[in-house]
Amino acid sequence: MKSPTQDQLRTRTAADIASVQLAAENWTPQRTLAWAFESFGDRVAISSAFGVEGMVLIDMASRISKDFRLFTIDTEFLFPETYSLMDRIEEKYGITIEKVYSLLSPEEQERTHGTALWSRDPDACCNLRKVEPLRRKLGELSAWITSIRRDQTSVRSTAQRIEWDAKFGLVKVNPIVDWSAKQVWRYIHDHDVPYNELHNRDYPSIGCTHCTRAVRPGEDPRAGRWSGFAKTECGLHIIEPVPQATEAYASKAAKIGN
């Protein structure tokens, strides 16, 4: 018998998801997480940059499964406070965070793309340091769990609790998609969940050091991300082309069979 093609598998999975999608809209985040763990086992992982929303999911997951998978895209441009939080998470929850890196070190990126690419072309920089590593990581998985909320950006406003991610070709699970920022903070305080101390210094949304600043009173919570650019997303949740392969980049990709 002929094995199903990737396209057939993808269609079947997308169809399966369509059958639970409507019911899932009424599920709690905990039930959604339990469904994801039961459905995909070690082929599902939480993706987090350790904002407060991600911390809620990590804490909830730890109460459902002791060996859930958690990964992060480490751009190598993160704040010391973020690295310190990663250490605290590993200690408190007894897990090892799977760290995924760009194929280019910061020095290699500077040699091949010039200095401070983030200040000239942040989309290209995010593609190299976030989108390509994420695509590589998602290639090992059947589903990923994110902490996006609908009211964060216009791109996220139509997200569903469980959906087919056509960009990366796997199931995307968004357990707290309908939560407000107030609900997130209530959970953090009620359950004594650790969080990035930068949040106490007017950084409601935290990414790379080069592209994050504190927000001023009255500004949108994401105004501190890519300040001065129209950009509001790093590209993980929107459709963007794969980065152009430079010679150094292509040679490293070939080595890992990408």
> Considering the rule CB under 6 A, would residue 77 count as an interface residue with ligand SF4?
yes
- Catalytic residue of the set 126, 208, 211, 234: 234
Stretch in the footprint of ligand SF4 (CB under 6 A) among 22-30, 195-203, 205-213, 248-256: 205-213
Q: 45 — phi, psi (to 5°)?
A: -145, 150
**Number of residues lying near ligand SF4 (CB under 6 A):** 13
Is 208 considered catalytic here?
Answer: no
If one asks whether residue 207 binds ligand SF4 (CB under 6 A), the answer comes out as: yes
List Cβ neighbours of 12 (8 Å cut-off, separation of 6 or more): 4
Q: Which is nearer to ligand SF4, 33 or 236 (CB)?
A: 236
Reading the block at residue 135, the tokens are 């695509």
Closest to ligand SF4 by CB, 95 vs 234, is 234
Provide the 3-class DSSP secondary structure of residue 65: coil
Smaller CB distance to ligand SF4: residue 35 or 118? 118
Q: Does 103 bind ligand SF4 (CB under 6 A)?
A: no
| CA 258 – CA 251 distance, rounded (Å) | 10
Crossing angle for the helix pair 181-190 and 52-64, nearest 10 degrees?
A: 50
Residue 130 contacts ligand SF4 per CB under 6 A: yes
Q: Distance (Å, rounded) from C-alpha 30 to C-alpha 221? A: 26
Just list the catalytic residues. Answer: 234
Q: Under the rule (CB under 6 A), what is the footprint of ligand SF4?
A: 75, 77, 118, 122, 125-126, 129-130, 207-208, 210-211, 234
